[in-house]
Chain A
Amino acid sequence: MLLEVSGLAIDLPSPAGARRVVHDVSFSLAAGESLGVVGESGSGKTMTALALIGLAPDGAVVSGAVRFEGLDLARLGEDAMRKLRGDRLAMIFQEPMSALNPLQRIGAQVAEPLTLHRGMTKASAWAEAVRLLDRVRLRDPERIARAYPFALSGGERQRAMIAMALSCAPDLIIADEPTTALDVTVQAKILDLLASLGEQSNMAMLLVSHDLAVIARHCRRVLVMYGGTIMESGPVDAVLRRARHPYTRALLEARPRPGAPRGERLRAIAGAAPSSASALVGCPFAGRCPLTLDVCRTTPLPTIEFEADHRVRCHRVDADGRLT
């Protein structure tokens, strides 16, 4: 197992005391595998991704275990984490314009991990950077390497970020909404690029997104998060075709269906997502869920594996995956 997360919990400081934004998250990721984390705002998906790479905001308290290639990342000091970041573990962010230094040429930024982790000279790192920019299918990579971020389009910047993330051939790449800020045609190309690069180099990918369809297209397994907790997890096909958790089903039904008759109402979920799990004992979806019972609010959630690798956390689902 490349990555094993168990009992991850993240508390953020707030004027009213510590706020638990990620609650008891456990999952594993094998080498070369792609895992999608889907959730809406407040689900804790971004915070989870940041915690893995040790970039949770100042003041955040991370508990639980994050085992990566045998090391417990949650216990590792900042110096050791810095050695891993960019080398074995890389991250791509949502907004390429703010994630790239506007005052530094693209080539220099892509070359930076190489000089840092591989000890390459500036010249050879630059040459390798140009090769990487070509690998991410950028036209005229030399010109791009010499350019500054403002001269590039959103899609080009994101490809440059991918090149930077890949430079040291990491074992795991974490992508946090990498295409949300891009046009849909560009989005498709970038995600396909990531998937094919991953396959070429046996690189594992953790893809965080709010869009279930994006994850369905590019990941083999998926975690569905809500209110800081994993609600359902499993192979993408299984979760999509045989979703058991009321929230997963609601998400699937909320999208307008192509070909549906005009005027058919969308199945909305009334209410809004909680902003934190805080002192929650039961299920964060309780109250908003149409199947809520008292037990949902009072009892901690069980984890039910009702078919191979397909788990759901719900009080209303029994061991065979049927609704009780």
Chain B
Amino acid sequence: MSAPLLEVVDLVKVYALARPGWFAPRPYRRAVDGVGFVIEAGRSFGVVGESGSGKSTLARAVMALERPTAGVVRLGGRALNDLPRRELRATRAHIQMIFQDPYGSLDPRQKIARIVAEPLANLAHVGRAERAGRVDEALGAVGLGAADAQKYPHEFSGGQRQRIAIARALITRPKLVVADEPVSALDVSIQAQVLNLMSDLQREAGVTYLFISHDLAVVGYICDEIAVMFHGRFVETGPSAALLDKPAHPYTRELVDAEPKLAEKPLPPPEPPPRPDATTGCPYAARCLHAQARCLEAAPALRPLGEDRRVACHFPFGG
């Protein structure tokens, strides 16, 4: 069995916040607090979490756009953190990113051809003639025409801009694409177009996705495996269908229940009893409907549950 394409081990990213007073201690925020996972080539791995969960920080750390405080990110067996700058730039050809905001991720003052060709600047052996051909190829793959290459971003709709972002991400034929909320800003009917495109491209080009989103339905559609993130940690991981169907962690269950569904009209979610903000114990305990004394004392570690699930809970469902 060959090495997995992406391996993340004990990743930690800590941000220093502003001191509240001159002599007060500096507070820190653990945006990513010990995250580890593995993605095999050709698969799709989803990370689901709400705002503040640390999922975007995780994406940037995997992309080596932020230096982790601790832990390792290995792409194809090589650790990205320690690479010297030149080699890191060369490696970027193999790992590209699709950003959330189709209106912000394209430079408004550049033409599409230049935007899409930018990652090619790293591949030294791509000559100018070949560059134009690759741009046309990438635009064609996302359903846009050669004429679009000479236009500016503001001439396109949100969905089209996201396609351009996908073309840019794919032009170096990367092995791994990190997609950070790629369809969240799009209308439902356009979301479907872009998701179809992403899954087609995966089938044709064998791209591996790390898909980050707050939308369970979308992640469930496109990913083989899902990790649920809360306060910088994975609280549950497992195959997507099983995880969404029978969540083991109370937070996963809360997410699944909160998702508005067309079929049923569920009861309003009950409010958990008010609890003082805890500094020890499980970070979810303050919101958890099933929390018990043990949950406030010790933080649970991510432990295997069954053969392909891991849960960080003292009292998981189905456990």
Contact = CB atoms under 8 A, between A and B. Distances in A.
Interface of A: 40-41, 137, 139, 154, 183-185, 187-189, 192, 196, 210-214, 216-217, 240, 250-252, 254-260, 262-263, 265-270, 272-273
18 contacts: A41-B158, A184-B50, A188-B269, A196-B268, A216-B260, A217-B265, A217-B266, A240-B262, A250-B189, A254-B189, A257-B217, A258-B244, A258-B245, A262-B224, A265-B199, A266-B195, A269-B192, A272-B157
A213 B262 contact: yes
Interface residues of B, number: 44
Contacts of A258: 217, 220, 244-245, 261
B187 A266 contact: no
B51 interface: yes
Contacts of A216: 260, 262, 265
B188 interface: yes
Interface of B: 50-51, 157-160, 187-193, 195-196, 199, 203, 214-218, 220-222, 224, 240-241, 244-245, 254-255, 257-262, 265-266, 268-269, 271, 274
A259 B262 contact: no
Nearest to B51: A183
Given A268-B190, A272-B190, 12 more contacts: A40-B189, A183-B214, A210-B188, A213-B260, A217-B260, A256-B195, A258-B245, A262-B224, A265-B196, A265-B199, A268-B192, A269-B193
B50 A213 contact: no
Q: Which of A139, A212, A268 has the most CB of B within 10 A?
A: A268
Contacts of B218: 256
B262 A254 contact: no
B113 to A, nearest CB: 22
B158 A266 contact: no
Contact of A41 (B160, B187, B265): B187
Given A184-B214, A268-B196, A255 B190 contact: no
A41 B188 CA distance: 10
B35 to A, nearest CB: 20
Contacts of A250: 189
A236 to B, nearest CB: 9
Nearest to B269: A188
Given A256-B217, A272-B159, A184 B187 contact: no
Given A185-B254, A259-B241, A272-B160, A252 B262 contact: yes
Contacts of B160: 272
Contacts of A251: 188-189
A188 B258 contact: yes
Nearest to B259: A184
Given A185-B254, A188-B269, A212 B214 contact: no
